[in-house]
Structure 1
Amino acid sequence: MARRTTAILLACALAGATGLTAHAAPAPEGDYIVVLKDSTDAKFKADKHSQDNGARVGHLYQSALKGYSGRMSEQARDRIAADPDVVRVEPVRQVRSTAQSLPTGVDRANADASPTAGIDGTDQRTDVDVAVIDTGVDSDHPDLNVVGGKNCTLPVLPPEDGHGHGTHVAGTVGALDNGAGVVGVAPGARIWPVKVLNDAGVGTTADVVCGIDYVAANSGQIDVANMSLGGAGTDDGQCGRRSGDSEHEAICRAVSAGVTFAVAAGNDAADAKDSTPAAYDEVITVSALADFNGQPGGGAPATCRDDEDDTFADFSNFGTDVDLIAPGVCINSTWPNGSYNTISGTSMATPHVAGAAALHKATNPAATPEQVKNALRSAGTTDWTWPSQDPDGTQEPLLDVTGF
């Protein structure tokens, strides 16, 4: 089936940025902290410096130390520093929360119990490579281990993420276990950004095939590929050769080269058989679980969007093509510009499975994609509320990496 465009499986809900990591970058030029001698009247001196030097006073400090914060020119800074009542004038630095959180999805998949993941706040990286075929990835994000990559939308540019989706996916796969920000299912996995969707989150099958081709060319290094994207189409069972489906044929060849593909089922509350790559038999197709606290049993209040805890997400595609279910509602992960964000979708469920595949490959490097799929399905549990909104009559296994 010929298809011109492939649209990203956009997240169903967006929320604001959350916890952030330590960062040493300076704040905008001209912001300073002026520390005064303990005997100085801080308010009087701040007012005088404002009047005499044009300093715009921010905070006034009078208990922990004497002084103030303010914005000023370099000339004003030098004049103020020369005041005998001034101990020092120091530039303001940007700081961020240093507490690492365990995202609910990583918790529910039991990645913190995986001996291979070894989540303990110590940056010991999973020795595995995962391609994120998406909107690109923030290569400078302090919580990601980014290597290699290709931009199929604008080949002359690096595969940077101007959208956010790909960076979010990458964090769920492998955010560093470094005591800051969040942690992924396979902490520190080497992330290969493959940009096939533009900064509006859309692209063409030509670009998608370019991305799969790149993964196949690097199959000697890349173990797993995540495709949280999709478009209309079906599987003719012939790896695309008879239907003229180049995307399917490319995936089949990459799978034959040893790459395991985890793909999103889709967010249309419809049968995944009418969406590709979700319909392809050679991939691991992932539906989404609504989970708000990382624990089984249900009953947790909804957070970033309305849904019922511990049930099949109300937006998720379903059907016989679905292989696994994983948390995909209100998932906190990495976001461009070194930040974090909470969003939802089968796009968010899929990288949990890609991370799980990465853990399995890290300890079973010779495992074929089919063996990886079978291992993940066999390890899955039925410990989630069903049938809930799931209309297909089959309870797919819930991802569980405890033994990986």
Structure 2
Amino acid sequence: MRRGWHVTATAIAVVIGLLGFQGVPVRAQLLGIAPTWLSFTGEIDPILRHALDAAAPGELVESVVVFDQYPSALALATVRTTGVQVLPFRMLPMVGVRGTAVQILGLVGLPGVRSIHHNRQLDYFLNQSVPLIGADRVWTELGVTGRGVGVAVIDSGIDGTHPDLPFGQKVIQNVKVGPDLFGAGPIVVENLANTDTTSGHGTHVASTAAGTGAALAGKYRGVAIGANLVGLGAGEALFVLTALEAFDWVLTNRDTYGIRVISNSWGTSGPFSPNDPINVASKMAHDAGLVVVFAAGNDGPGQNTLNPFCVAPWVICVAAGLKDGQTLADFSSRGIPGDPLYHPTITAPGADIVAARASTGIVIDTFFAVDLINLGTDAVSYAAASGTSMATPHVSGTVALMLEANPALTPDQIKSTLEGSATPMPGYEEYQVGAGYLNAFQAVTVALMLAWNKDGLAVPKTAMLHPMARNALGI
């Protein structure tokens, strides 16, 4: 499906790499501010400034222009007068542009422009972990599996040929986004069985959230075994514009596929800004009733290393813990002590997580020899990986369980319930682990209890609830 670009913009980007496979974060350095910027009262991405300063004459640069509201036809026409190529969105109040440094500088000061950001590249940051958080008890004792809840996974893609993730059954839609958003081909291609043809990261993440475990008779099942998956695949390299296209597609199609959760095991480094186009998109998704979950990042153990996309107060930020349920992984990014925003929401299993191996996952296959030693013949269908990428789908799957239990819950209620039902982690502070370790059983129990209260039905005994959950409910 293609929406026409109307004139040009290329990608110099900051790569969103596998948060599950730790890489070198891309950090921008402001080399200079051209006088053209000085009269602009909106926000200019320092990485874009650097890219424009460094661009050769005639070299094309891709960026994102964020408006105060969805741009009118007149606003789009005004943007095109600068000579840039324009990529409009269906729902998001922004456009992608490709043009020379001179052309992009011509966008500065246009009416209604809120910010301009570079199309940087981003980073992609189970049999033991599912019982650890109590998800198996949710299935057996509460009868909740996430059925009917759609989980969108924005990642490298999903291999719908894997027995745990059958396309058309578990993966109800699989979309390939890009890669050349400014080229002649389609921007998105739907109904593909396998979109994870180079990485394997997205397949691993998706099966942790909701995989069936069918390849080995249920041995490695995901958290929400009854939930539906929708894949938004960008391949091995995810850029800002690709991620925005994925958010735009979800906002456009959420009712068709029953999408209630967006899982994001990727990010970047640097400070948080509410004007960043990714944060604008996640806020719009939140306001539309979608629960947005982001990985905290793999830049720990230092302070102030959080993925800036997970700092937003409207998203759920996931740190990675060991499978003992009480220890934070050394690599998990930390926030700032005492800061009201810079901290994870919750910690979930993120070390040595076993989940589906994509049949075409070149990156995930890098560790095949080690998996063969540790997993034996299981390694043919499954891989072990560590990172906040692996922790994030545990939370996304838990959210799907909660929404089956109580579909009326809002994103903010989901977040506060996860926090209130978390298991404390003694010896750690909020800036490191958030509210504590994920407890899916308690979170879903609270979700059911809230549903019963709302409908005037009998409230279950509170003795089974975690003390923090009882406190959160005032009982």
Q: TM-score range by the shorter chain?
A: 0.5 to 0.7
Q: Larger C-alpha radius of gyration, 1 or 2? A: 1
- Partner residue in 1 for 2:203: 167
Matched, 1:315 2:331: yes
Counterparts of 1:140 and 1:394, CA distance in 2: 36
Matched, 1:10 2:19: yes
| Preserved contact between residue 125 and residue 176 of structure 1 (Cα < 8 Å) | no
After TM superposition, the structure 1 = structure 2 runs for residues 67-82 of structure 1, keeping only pairs within 5 Å, are none
Over the matched positions of the two proteins, sequence identity in percent amounts to 33
What letter matches 1:131 in structure 2?
Answer: A
1:273-310 deviation digits (Å, cap 9, x = unpaired): 6523122221100000012xxx55xxxxxxxxxxxxx4
Counterparts of 1:261 and 1:146, CA distance in 2: 19
Q: More strand per residue: 1 or 2?
A: 1
| Preserved contact between residue 328 and residue 347 of structure 1 (Cα < 8 Å) | yes
Q: 1:103 aligns with which of 117, 127, 130?
A: 127
| Preserved contact between residue 269 and residue 305 of structure 2 (Cα < 8 Å) | no
Q: 1:257 aligns with which of 280, 284, 288?
A: 288
Q: How many aligned positions are there?
A: 284
User: 1:118–1:136: structure 2 CA closer, same or farther, 3 Å change rule?
Assistant: farther
Matched, 1:278 2:291: no
Q: Give the alignment's TM-score, normalised by structure 2.
A: 0.55
User: How far off is 1:9 after superposition?
Assistant: 3.5
User: 1:361–1:315: structure 2 CA closer, same or farther, 3 Å change rule?
Assistant: same
- Partner residue in 2 for 1:93: none
User: How far off is 1:219 after superposition?
Assistant: 2.7
| CA root-mean-square deviation | 2.7
User: 1:391–1:321: structure 2 CA closer, same or farther, 3 Å change rule?
Assistant: closer
Counterparts of 1:274 and 1:392, CA distance in 2: 10
Runs (4+) of structure 1 exceeding 6 A deviation are: 116-120
Gap regions ≥5 residues in structure 1: 14-101, 297-309
- Partner residue in 2 for 1:147: 172
| Preserved contact between residue 156 and residue 200 of structure 2 (Cα < 8 Å) | yes
User: How far off is 1:394 after superposition?
Assistant: 6.3
- Partner residue in 2 for 1:217: 252
Counterparts of 1:353 and 1:363, CA distance in 2: 15
User: How far off is 1:267 after superposition?
Assistant: 0.2
Counterparts of 2:140 and 2:419, CA distance in 1: 18
Counterparts of 2:269 and 2:222, CA distance in 1: 30
Relative CO higher for 1 or 2, CA cutoff 8 Å, sep ≥ 6? 1
Matched, 1:325 2:362: no
User: 1:229–1:394: structure 2 CA closer, same or farther, 3 Å change rule?
Assistant: closer
Q: 2:386 aligns with which of 344, 358, 362?
A: 344
| Preserved contact between residue 19 and residue 389 of structure 2 (Cα < 8 Å) | yes
SS in 2 for 1:4: coil
Matched, 1:357 2:399: yes
What letter matches 1:205 in structure 2?
Answer: V
Q: More helix per residue: 1 or 2?
A: 2
- Partner residue in 2 for 1:47: none
Q: 2:156 aligns with which of 135, 142, 145?
A: 135
User: How far off is 1:115 after superposition?
Assistant: 4.1
User: How far off is 1:12 after superposition?
Assistant: 4.3
After TM superposition, the structure 1 = structure 2 runs for residues 193-272 of structure 1, keeping only pairs within 5 Å, are 193-196=231-234, 198-199=235-236, 202-220=237-255, 221-236=258-273, 239-240=274-275, 245-269=276-300, 270-271=302-303
